[in-house]
Amino acid sequence: MFEIGVSTVGNVNVHTSQNGGLTNEQVADLAVEKIVSISDDAPPHIRQQAKQFREHLKKVLYNYLLLARREERASIVHILRSNGQKELAEYIRRL
């Protein structure tokens, strides 16, 4: 006889936003959660190192997310200006 032992459902994280999309910080959190997971069973000094790495990673991701959004807006502004939508372009540039 063969028996399958334990079937388990993992835990999800839910992130929500109000009046707009997720913030850069929330997106950075999403990315870090996927990249770094820290075992509850890990030795304390390993857990501490992993937590510090996670915080550092989050700061790096946050800054590059800011850059990515700014650069995308710059591309959108360029396209709008090229098509004569100067007022809309200025509005987006100021976001």
Partner 1 sequence: MAIAQAMCNSFKKTLLEGKHNFLNSGGSAFKLALYAESSGGKNTSTATLGFGTTAFTTTGEVQTSGSYSTGGGALTRVNPSVATATTTQTAFTDFADLSFTTASITAMGALIYNSATGNHSVCVLDFTSNKTSTSGTFTIQFPTADASNAIIRIA
- Applying CB under 8 A, which residues contact partner 1? 4-22, 26, 30, 33-34, 37, 39
**Amino acid residing at 74:** A
**Amino acid residing at 95:** L
Yes or no: say if 52 and 32 are a contact pair by the CB < 8 Å rule: no
Min dist. Cβ of residue 38 to partner 1 (A) = 11
Min dist. Cβ of residue 63 to partner 1 (A) = 21
Would you say 10 or 84 has its CB closer to partner 1?
10
Would you say 33 or 90 has its CB closer to partner 1?
33
Q: Report CA-CA distances (Å) from 84 to 3, 70, 75, 87.
A: 69, 21, 15, 9
